[in-house]
Structure 1
């Protein structure tokens, strides 16, 4: 369906359309509320990236499957706020229709270009707003790149489609950018049921972080064999961790290393992470992979594995220097 060209600056409304595989116009209230909670979460996160406080208003349902409208307005009005609302409206749409295998900016870059090429913005540039608009465009492009690595957006999008995927009545979902009068501004975007899985995160685990020279003050070592957790202080925080260095565990269990009140280690620490249901990053565990040094009376004593690691690292550096 072709639509009459309307200024992108009038983009302040999203129409969300649930398409059913029967002739009804009703939807499970819990599923609908959960889906729209995630959609509003995406909107709030995009708005926060652009540092805009947004007012969101909804309108009554309409038939044809089930349709919902969400109209956005800036708390602080003005020309710049109008541009930002148009950007946010467009970017929310881009996030919702971008599968996990595609970077969000790949889809939304052209929307940003379209907004800043709009005739109304070109007119505003003549009103001594040229520098401000150029600055806003640079800011929009920078913020757009930030969306690619935003776990909250990815998780909320995943939750949205997971709820729909488990609700067999929904055959597809569509979203379209409109003006206040509900006139379409861009083509309606569809996602079919067969593609819902392309938006769902299967594994919430994140790539672990490795800290090469982490210093841990030992509170409670494990002196006997078994799968027991050690306790220590890392960067001022009390942590429980797995000691995965078999060499160091043997030195401790055979009594070759004794711990005192001020004992600490320098180690390679792996920090395991995942994202929760809200898309927030959570630390789920710590593993000491290698002990480089342990300290006795403030004296650093290098471990055999620490010495071997340093030799391998130096050899690697020498080879890089040669090439």
Structure 2
């Protein structure tokens, strides 16, 4: 594959769509292309060719900077991987690949896929190892950043009333198709949209937090403290300790510290980067 063609199908034979929506959606697409290429350890550049009408056709030229004897095949595999990721949800991909069911269970049970190993196997087999290829695709389908960027892409496009469906098509350098067109109808756009992606919580045992601002009323308001020299906000998950505070059985003075198990809940922001959503303190002991 030398090019990736993106086709926006528009109602009433229209050849124009909202420029802000299109540009925002395609920025997410380019971020997704870049993330997938780096994850797969490709050294690629992406160029945009002139637009064509017919709905709206747009072509992204994909340039492999490390040209070798297998670079054409490598680009072809990259195109296949990327279009599969862009147009499939995990459940669809699993249902079409029954052999992956056990692998999915392993992933959900936190048994990691050794992605680097599978990529190496794929390259050593000149990209003909079907089992490794499927594992790589599944890993990427479950990758949090992939989900976020794909979600952004479809969420923007869902706001364009003229769009009826989109498709991807892999092309050679002469714009001849080298794959079947993959179509996603607008009615399915929302299946790709993620409200929030939460990562595995981080738990820090024996955390020493200096209390700056405790809370002496009912509710779940944030306390303020200092952890490892940095100011933090956190909630009390230790119900017994919270009751003692409300009953004034615990007093706080300047410099009061607690030892606790601190659970940090992490979500992905709109760029697919992790950020702290909340912190909860459990098993609290006042020093």
Verify same fold: TM over 0.5.
Answer: yes
Equivalent residue, structure 2, for 1:188: 181
Equivalent residue, structure 2, for 1:263: 257
The alignment partner of 1:22 has SS state of helix
Cα distance in 2 for residues equivalent to 1:139 and 1:259: 57
Cα distance in 2 for residues equivalent to 1:57 and 1:105: 34
Q: How does 1:243-262 map to 2 (within 5 A)?
A: 243-252=236-245, 254=247, 256-258=249-251, 261=255
**Residue 33 of structure 1: which of 23, 33, 41 is its match?**
23
- Aligned pairs, how many? 262
Cα distance in 2 for residues equivalent to 1:52 and 1:275: 24
Displacement of 1:15: 0.9
Equivalent residue, structure 2, for 1:45: 35
Equivalent residue, structure 2, for 1:134: 125
Contact residue 215 and residue 265 of structure 1 kept, 8 A: yes
* Residues 1:222 and 2:214 aligned together: yes
Contact residue 208 and residue 271 of structure 1 kept, 8 A: no
* Residues 1:160 and 2:150 aligned together: no
Q: 1:70 to 1:157 in 2, by over 3 A?
A: same
Displacement of 1:186: 1.4
Q: 1:226 to 1:132 in 2, by over 3 A?
A: closer
Equivalent residue, structure 1, for 2:278: 285
Ranges in structure 1 where 5+ consecutive residues have no aligned partner: 1-10, 111-129, 297-323
User: Could you give the per-residue CA deviations for residues 90-124 of structure 1, whole angstroms, max 9, x where no partner exists?
Assistant: 111111111364458967x99xxxxxxxxxxxxxx
Q: 1:106 to 1:80 in 2, by over 3 A?
A: farther
* Residues 1:87 and 2:80 aligned together: no
* Residues 1:56 and 2:49 aligned together: no
Cα distance in 2 for residues equivalent to 1:135 and 1:179: 19
Q: 1:96 to 1:294 in 2, by over 3 A?
A: same
* Residues 1:171 and 2:171 aligned together: no
Cα distance in 2 for residues equivalent to 1:168 and 1:213: 51
**Residue 201 of structure 2: which of 198, 205, 209 is its match?**
209
User: Could you give the per-residue CA deviations for residues 246-303 of structure 1, whole angstroms, max 9, x where no partner exists?
Assistant: 3213334555445573733123x33233222212222121122x32x5254xxxxxxx
Displacement of 1:237: 4.3
Displacement of 1:18: 0.8
Displacement of 1:71: 1.4
The alignment partner of 1:17 has SS state of strand
Contact residue 209 and residue 259 of structure 2 kept, 8 A: yes
Q: 1:101 to 1:214 in 2, by over 3 A?
A: farther
**Residue 86 of structure 2: which of 96, 103, 107 is its match?**
96
**Residue 78 of structure 1: which of 63, 68, 77 is its match?**
68
Ranges in structure 2 where 5+ consecutive residues have no aligned partner: 101-120
Cα distance in 2 for residues equivalent to 1:23 and 1:223: 61
Cα distance in 2 for residues equivalent to 1:71 and 1:42: 15
Contact residue 101 and residue 198 of structure 1 kept, 8 A: no
Cα distance in 2 for residues equivalent to 1:188 and 1:246: 56
Cα distance in 1 for residues equivalent to 2:46 and 2:77: 15
Q: Determine which structure has more spread, i.e. the larger CA radius of gyration.
A: 1
User: Could you give the per-residue CA deviations for residues 289-322 of structure 1, whole angstroms, max 9, x where no partner exists?
Assistant: x32x5254xxxxxxxxxxxxxxxxxxxxxxxxxx
Equivalent residue, structure 2, for 1:321: none
Cα distance in 2 for residues equivalent to 1:159 and 1:33: 12
User: Could you give the per-residue CA deviations for residues 133-185 of structure 1, whole angstroms, max 9, x where no partner exists?
Assistant: 33865875654343132122112212222222211111111111111111111
